[in-house]
Copies of this chain bind each other. A is one copy, B any other.
Protein backbone atom coordinates (compact mmCIF):
# COMPACT_ATOMS: atom_id res chain seq x y z
CA UNK A 1 0.00 0.00 0.00
CA UNK A 2 2.78 2.39 -0.75
CA UNK A 3 3.53 4.72 -3.55
CA UNK A 4 6.44 3.50 -5.64
CA UNK A 5 9.67 5.40 -5.93
CA UNK A 6 8.89 5.83 -9.57
CA UNK A 7 5.80 7.80 -8.63
CA UNK A 8 7.63 9.73 -5.96
CA UNK A 9 10.36 10.75 -8.39
CA UNK A 10 7.90 11.53 -11.14
CA UNK A 11 5.90 13.79 -8.89
CA UNK A 12 9.02 15.61 -7.79
CA UNK A 13 9.98 16.09 -11.41
CA UNK A 14 6.60 17.56 -12.22
CA UNK A 15 6.79 19.77 -9.18
CA UNK A 16 10.18 21.10 -10.26
CA UNK A 17 8.82 21.89 -13.69
CA UNK A 18 5.80 23.58 -12.14
CA UNK A 19 8.08 25.87 -10.17
CA UNK A 20 9.91 26.97 -13.26
CA UNK A 21 9.14 30.41 -14.68
CA UNK A 22 6.60 30.20 -17.47
CA UNK A 23 8.13 29.08 -20.75
CA UNK A 24 11.53 28.01 -19.47
CA UNK A 25 13.05 24.53 -19.41
CA UNK A 26 15.41 22.38 -17.42
CA UNK A 27 17.26 19.22 -18.27
CA UNK A 28 16.57 15.90 -16.66
CA UNK A 29 20.08 15.99 -15.27
CA UNK A 30 19.55 19.23 -13.41
CA UNK A 31 16.45 17.92 -11.72
CA UNK A 32 18.18 14.65 -10.93
CA UNK A 33 21.02 16.47 -9.24
CA UNK A 34 18.79 18.82 -7.33
CA UNK A 35 16.48 16.07 -6.13
CA UNK A 36 19.16 13.42 -5.64
CA UNK A 37 17.55 10.98 -8.01
CA UNK A 38 19.58 8.57 -10.18
CA UNK A 39 19.62 10.30 -13.52
CA UNK A 40 19.20 7.25 -15.73
CA UNK A 41 16.14 6.25 -13.82
CA UNK A 42 14.69 9.73 -13.85
CA UNK A 43 15.17 10.06 -17.58
CA UNK A 44 13.15 6.93 -18.05
CA UNK A 45 10.40 8.35 -15.89
CA UNK A 46 10.53 11.61 -17.81
CA UNK A 47 9.96 9.71 -21.02
CA UNK A 48 6.96 8.00 -19.50
CA UNK A 49 5.51 11.34 -18.49
CA UNK A 50 6.23 12.71 -21.94
CA UNK A 51 4.35 9.86 -23.55
CA UNK A 52 1.41 10.59 -21.28
CA UNK A 53 1.56 14.22 -22.36
CA UNK A 54 2.25 15.64 -18.92
CA UNK A 55 5.68 16.77 -19.98
CA UNK A 56 7.14 18.03 -23.24
CA UNK A 57 10.65 16.95 -24.02
CA UNK A 58 13.07 18.58 -26.46
CA UNK A 59 16.19 16.74 -27.46
CA UNK A 60 19.35 18.49 -28.48
CA UNK A 61 21.41 21.37 -27.26
CA UNK A 62 19.31 23.84 -25.31
CA UNK A 63 16.56 21.29 -25.13
CA UNK A 64 15.18 19.80 -21.97
CA UNK A 65 11.86 19.41 -20.29
CA UNK A 66 8.89 21.61 -19.72
CA UNK A 67 5.42 21.02 -18.44
CA UNK A 68 3.06 19.68 -21.07
CA UNK A 69 -0.03 21.14 -19.50
CA UNK A 70 -1.18 24.10 -17.52
CA UNK A 71 -0.14 23.50 -13.91
CA UNK A 72 -3.46 24.93 -12.77
CA UNK A 73 -5.28 22.02 -14.31
CA UNK A 74 -2.60 19.38 -13.89
CA UNK A 75 -3.57 17.34 -10.88
CA UNK A 76 -1.97 14.81 -8.61
CA UNK A 77 -4.43 12.30 -10.02
CA UNK A 78 -3.10 12.84 -13.52
CA UNK A 79 0.42 12.32 -12.27
CA UNK A 80 -0.24 9.16 -10.32
CA UNK A 81 -2.32 7.64 -13.07
CA UNK A 82 0.40 8.32 -15.59
CA UNK A 83 3.07 6.91 -13.33
CA UNK A 84 1.32 3.97 -11.69
CA UNK A 85 -1.76 3.30 -13.71
CA UNK A 86 -5.31 3.44 -12.43
CA UNK A 87 -6.08 3.87 -8.75
CA UNK A 88 -6.97 0.38 -7.61
CA UNK A 89 -6.66 -0.79 -4.05
CA UNK A 90 -7.64 -4.34 -4.80
CA UNK A 91 -7.27 -6.45 -7.89
CA UNK A 92 -10.97 -7.18 -7.82
CA UNK A 93 -12.09 -3.65 -8.58
CA UNK A 94 -10.04 -3.64 -11.75
CA UNK A 95 -10.82 -7.16 -12.88
CA UNK A 96 -14.06 -8.19 -11.20
CA UNK A 97 -14.55 -11.06 -13.61
CA UNK A 98 -11.39 -12.72 -12.36
CA UNK A 99 -12.73 -13.00 -8.83
CA UNK A 100 -15.25 -15.77 -8.17
CA UNK A 101 -16.51 -13.86 -5.17
CA UNK A 102 -17.31 -10.68 -7.04
CA UNK A 103 -21.02 -11.37 -7.22
CA UNK A 104 -21.56 -11.26 -3.49
CA UNK A 105 -18.32 -10.01 -1.93
CA UNK A 106 -19.03 -7.13 0.45
CA UNK A 107 -15.46 -5.87 0.28
CA UNK A 108 -15.84 -4.93 -3.32
CA UNK A 109 -17.96 -1.93 -2.45
CA UNK A 110 -15.64 -0.94 0.33
CA UNK A 111 -12.70 -0.74 -2.04
CA UNK A 112 -14.75 1.02 -4.68
CA UNK A 113 -15.80 3.69 -2.26
CA UNK A 114 -12.30 4.24 -0.99
CA UNK A 115 -10.92 4.45 -4.47
CA UNK A 116 -13.53 7.02 -5.37
CA UNK A 117 -12.56 9.08 -2.35
CA UNK A 118 -8.93 8.92 -3.30
CA UNK A 119 -9.62 9.89 -6.87
CA UNK A 120 -11.72 12.78 -5.67
CA UNK A 121 -9.09 14.01 -3.28
CA UNK A 122 -6.20 13.63 -5.70
CA UNK A 123 -8.04 15.41 -8.47
CA UNK A 124 -8.47 18.47 -6.31
CA UNK A 125 -4.76 18.99 -5.90
CA UNK A 126 -3.08 20.85 -8.71
CA UNK A 127 0.61 21.25 -9.31
CA UNK A 128 0.14 24.95 -9.33
CA UNK A 129 -1.03 24.80 -5.72
CA UNK A 130 1.83 22.52 -4.77
CA UNK A 131 4.40 24.71 -6.44
CA UNK A 132 3.10 27.78 -4.69
CA UNK A 133 3.03 26.00 -1.35
CA UNK A 134 6.60 24.88 -1.76
CA UNK A 135 7.78 28.30 -2.88
CA UNK A 136 6.16 29.87 0.16
CA UNK A 137 7.58 27.23 2.49
CA UNK A 138 11.10 27.75 1.23
CA UNK A 139 10.85 31.53 1.26
CA UNK A 140 9.15 31.76 4.63
**Contact yes or no, B1 A88, CB < 8 A:** yes
Task: For chain A, residues 67 to 105, give those with C-beta under 8 angstroms from any C-beta of chain B.
Answer: 76, 80, 84, 87-91, 100, 103-105
Interface SS, A side? helix
Nearest residue (CB) in B for A129 is B106
Given contacts A121-B113, A121-B114, contact A107 B11 (CB under 8 A): yes
User: Pick the contact of A138 from B104, B125, B130 — CB < 8 Å?
Assistant: B104
New contact pairs (5) apart from A106-B137, A114-B121, CB-CB < 8 Å: A1-B87, A1-B88, A2-B89, A106-B134, A117-B118
Interfacial residues, chain A to chain B (CB-CB below 8 A): 1-4, 8, 11, 15, 36, 76, 80, 84, 87-91, 100, 103-107, 110-111, 113-114, 117-118, 121-122, 125, 129-131, 133-134, 137-138
